[in-house]
Each structure stands twice: as C-alpha cells, then as structure tokens.
Amino acid sequence: MENMKRKICLVTCNRAEYTHCRTLIQELLKNPQIDLRLVAIGSHLLERYGMTVNDIESHGHTVDYRIFMEVEGNSPSTMAKSIGMALCDLATYFENIKPDLVIAPMDRYEITAVAIAAAFMNIPLAHMQGGEVTGTIDESTRHTITKLSHIHFPATEQSRERIIKMGEKPESVFNVGDPGTDLLLQAPQYSYEETVNFLNELTTKKEGVKLNPSTPLILGLQHPVTTEFGSGFKQIQETLHALKRIQDHQIIMLWPNIDAGGDDISRGIRNFIVEHGMENMSIFKHIPYEIYVNLLRHAKCMFGNSSGGIRETCYFGLPTVNIGTRQQDRERGKNVLDAPYDRDMIYRAIIKQINRGRYEQEFLFGDGSSGKRMADILTSIDLDKIEIQKRITY
C-alpha cells in the first residue's frame, strides 16, 4: 500500500557528490517499497557552477525541494553561515515530509547541515563514504557526520575498520564500495575524436579556440584547501607556471568548487591566462559525466587535488599527479604521484607521469554494484531496531 512505503530523503549539494549517489538513486526509485524524495542544495543551484540541478532532472529524476543556501563572500565565515541557512530550511522540510530515513552523502560542508537536522529531529541517518582519511576541513566534516549517523556505507575495508574504531557498532557498518564506481564501469566508450568534438561544443575560453583531436591532452582540477585559506592564489600560480612549460599537450581545466578560497583560484586562472596567453588551455564550468569518464580514458595525465584524481583514475590506470595536502593520506592506487606546491616539482611530476604511460587498472573502491547493495540494505534494514540515542561501543 502507498502509505506503507518507506520514505527516504536524499540531499545532494554538487556535481561530484551527485555522481556518487546516482546509481543509488536509480535503484531506490525503481523499488516499489521506497518513496524517495530528492533535495538539491548548494552549488547545484548556481549558474556559475553549471546549474547542475539540470543534470539531475535530465536523468529523469524529480527534485522535490531546492534550498538556496550559499552566502556570498567565499570565505570561512560565509561557509559557516551557509550551513546555518541550510539547517533552518532542512529542519522545516523534514518536519513537513516526516522522512523515515535521511541519507547524507560523503563529506561536503553543506551535508553537515543535513546530518545535524536529522540527528536533532530523531530521524535515522545513513552516511555514505565515512571513515576516509584526507586533508582540509573535509576530514573533520566527514567524521562529524559519521558520529551523527546510524547506518554507515564506507567504500573500502580500511574505512569500515576506522568507523568501528570510532565507536560505531560493527553491525551498522556495511562495506558496499563507492556507487560512483558503478557509473565509471557503465559509461559508454567514445573515441578520442568523439570526446574532443563534444568538448568543442562546450568550450568557454573564447570564441574560435578549439581542441584538436590530433593533439594529446592532460586534465586538471584544483580546489581550494579551506584549512589553508588565503593561499589558493599562490598555490594555483605554482601549478599554472608548471603547465606553461608543457606546450605539446592540450590542457583542460575545470573550475574549482564553491569552498572558501575558490574565488582566489578562479581569479588566479583568469589572471594567468590574460598575462601568459595559455593558448593550449581550455576551461570548463562543467563537463557531463559520460564525457568526463572518456577524458579519463584518453588523457595522458591528470593533475590537481580533486578526489577524482584518487578514486576514479585507478580504474583506468591514468597517470595522476596529486598536488598539495587536500588528499593527503587518502587510499590510492599505484598510478598517483604526489607533488608539493612547487612549480618545478609539479612540472617534473607531470612529465614523469606522461612519459610513464598507463598503469595497471586497479579496482579499489567497488566493482560496479555498490548502488544496488546500498539500496537493498536501505530497503530491508529494520528501522525500529535503530537506537537513535547513540552509544560508543568498545
């Protein structure tokens, strides 16, 4: 019966995190026992970040509620204020729809508001990809959400063990892998020429500049490190000076995320292009995921500090240069080479990886069936047996 459906609310805040939820969403939507409500917040709703809520709807999903939460300023204080804005609206929404369960994905600061609202309203909370070790504020956010959650879906066995060491009940921690891996392994395969031709339709650098399907490319994405706020401009300059020395490859860069300091990195990229030309560099706000996956297939190297350079590249053996501290200590494959914020060392690392060529493929974060495993657990788990009052186990 309709009124017996389990009402689950999933909140998503940006393009990358939505990718890791997509197959879970698909599995829950086709389950007749589940009434799924999707809420879009954060940079999903901002034009300068690609208005990626449109991607969710283009996949045939209905967005039940939208929360415009981002306070202008791009600073640590506006990040904190934005959490408060989201918290107020989420509490009202949860009160109105009365979900049986809320899903908090990953480690974004926006998702902190989801966890706090659910925990204080005595709503069972499921957390995806807890237990991981990285740099910046993400680590604190991730562990905070873990301690507010009742059901845990880590992506690796190491992460599962860390969650248990944090005092969570072993029977509530399920190593299901990363649903984002499902999409990687399902994505259609395009030739390099087809991938480049699609990107040429999206080019945002300037009129007339097109990618050449006969020239190899490297791919980059460098986000701000919130615990190093104020250093983003200098950090991206070191990367760009390294890239300037690479003339025989096309360079594709994505804009940084909305975290505090993102404007410094965006300004650094714009200024550098004006001062140095960088005719072989193209900038994109957003690349559709299927095309992004094919970039991973065809690129000669990936550089920057995105988690994608760790979690996704190992499935393609893509040589990767991880810059700085944002992903420090995260589990990674043999294809990742670290470099500090130093132009010479970044340059040498990129050239070394290009010359090295592809590594052996590694399946570190799942085998392509994580979304279904997670959906099956969320459908069958006995919510009446969940203790809302959290207790540390020893």
- Check residue 63 and give its pLDDT: 97
At 45-64, the pLDDT tens digits run 999 888 999 999 999 999 99
- Check residue 206 and give its pLDDT: 46
- Check residue 318 and give its pLDDT: 98
- Check residue 390 and give its pLDDT: 84
Residue 304's DSSP bridge partners are 221, 322
In tens digits, the chain (394 residues) has pLDDT values of: 345 899 999 999 998 899 999 999 999 999 999 999 999 999 999 998 889 999 999 999 999 999 999 998 889 999 999 999 999 999 999 999 999 999 999 999 999 999 999 999 999 999 999 999 987 888 999 999 999 999 999 999 999 999 999 999 999 999 999 999 999 999 999 999 999 999 998 764 444 468 999 999 999 999 999 999 999 999 999 999 999 999 999 999 999 998 999 999 999 999 999 999 898 999 998 899 999 999 999 999 999 999 989 999 999 999 999 999 999 889 999 999 999 999 999 999 999 999 999 999 999 999 999 999 999 999 999 999 998 988 877 6
CA distance 136 to 134: 7
- Check residue 48 and give its pLDDT: 87
- Check residue 3 and give its pLDDT: 57
- pTM for the complete prediction? 0.88
Architecture of the CATH domain 2-178+366-385? 3-Layer(aba) Sandwich (3.40)
- Check residue 209 and give its pLDDT: 61
| Cβ count near 38 (within 10 Å) | 23
6 within 8 A of 34, measured Cβ to Cβ = yes
Return the H-helix or E-strand segment holding 67.
strand 65-67
373 within 8 A of 175, measured Cβ to Cβ = no
CATH number, domain 191-356: 3.40.50.2000
Residue 12's DSSP bridge partners are 40
SS3 285: coil
- Check residue 1 and give its pLDDT: 39
State the burial class of residue 47 (Cβ atoms within 10 Å of its Cβ: 0-12, 13-18, 19+).
exposed
DSSP 87-139: HHHHHHHHHHH--SEEEEETT-HHHHHHHHHHHHTT--EEEES-S---SHHHH
Q: How far apart are the first and last CA of the chain?
A: 41
297 within 8 A of 266, measured Cβ to Cβ = no
Q: Where in the chain is the domain with CATH 3.40.50.2000?
A: 2-178+366-385, 191-356
At 323-337, the pLDDT tens digits run 999 998 899 999 999
Alpha helix positions (H), the chain: 15-29, 53-58, 76-97, 109-120, 136-148, 157-165, 179-186, 192-200, 232-244, 262-276, 289-298, 308-311, 343-356, 370-380
Residue 195's closest CA among 279, 269, 282, 255? 282
